[in-house]
Structure formats: C-alpha cells, structure tokens
Amino acid sequence: MVALGLLATWPVLTSAPAAEALFSAQATGGPQADSTASLAPPAGLSVKSASCTFLVVWQMQVTLSWQGSSSLDADGAYEVQYYAVKRSVNGAAYTQVGSTTGAPPATTFTDDASGLSLSGCPARVSYEVQAAQTQQGGGWRSAYSTVSVSFG
C-alpha cells in the first residue's frame, strides 16, 4: 500500500504596520480654495411696487428689484447662485420669505403675504437681500442690502 502525504503550509499573518493618513479641512484647489473670497451685496435694492388691500384678510404684495452679479468663478459657474430674501414687519425679527435662483439668479422677488395683521396693513415692512454661493463643504454669503416700505 502506498501512503500519500500532503503537506500544506499556510502563511502566518502578522500585524502589518498601520497605514497612516492625514487629512486637512483646508481646501487646496479649485475656486473654493480661496478663503478670502467674498460676494458683493446686491446693489440698488429698491421697492418696485407695493400694495396692501383687504380681501377677506389683509393681503400685502411687495416686489423688490436689485442689480445682480454675473461674475463667473474659475470653473465658469456663476459666483452668485441665489439671493436670499428676509422680511421684518413693524420692527420684528427678520424671517426668510424666499429666494431667487437661476443662472444667473433672478434679481426681482415678489412677496405675497396675507394675514400679517388683523387690524390692517402693517405700518412698516423691511427687507434684507443677500447674495449667496453654496458649494459642497461650504460657501459664501454677502452682507445684506436693506430696504423698507411704509403703508401708514
């Protein structure tokens, strides 16, 4: 009788030195690398039209307009990606009421609001408009431009 012997050797796994990686939160390339980048606030913000009427409830409509930016970044995209619009009624805190988008974003906004007051039109409504750019991992915002309208 013939005996067959099989001998197998398996490699012994030992701990390999740990791989090390160092990550940095600082951008190193592309337009977002410029930590000093800033956006100019919307210029020439004005109230294009304003009305406040009673139709079952008090309804206010205010149309704002401003000059926008058509500047492009290093990648050929518009630097301003949207404009944020906030409203304050009779001196209360500002709250965001909308935004404009597009390429480049629209430079007019109409605020249609109803029920702001049970007793009539608000005496004063103020708006803040801010240019903004949002990118993965960050973005920039301009200072606000402001304008007010009185109904009293």
**Domains of the chain by start residue, with CATH:** 39-150 (2.60.40.10)
What was the pLDDT predicted at 145? 98
Does residue 42 have a cis peptide bond before it, meaning omega lies within 30 degrees of 0?
no
Q: For each successive 10 residues of the chain (152 residues), what is the average pLDDT?
A: 48 45 40 60 97 89 96 89 95 96 95 82 94 76 96 79
In this prediction, residue 18 carries a pLDDT of 46
Task: Provide the pLDDT for residue 106.
Answer: 96
Decide: helix, strand or coil at residue 143: coil
The pTM (predicted TM-score) of the whole model is: 0.73
pLDDT of residue 8: 45
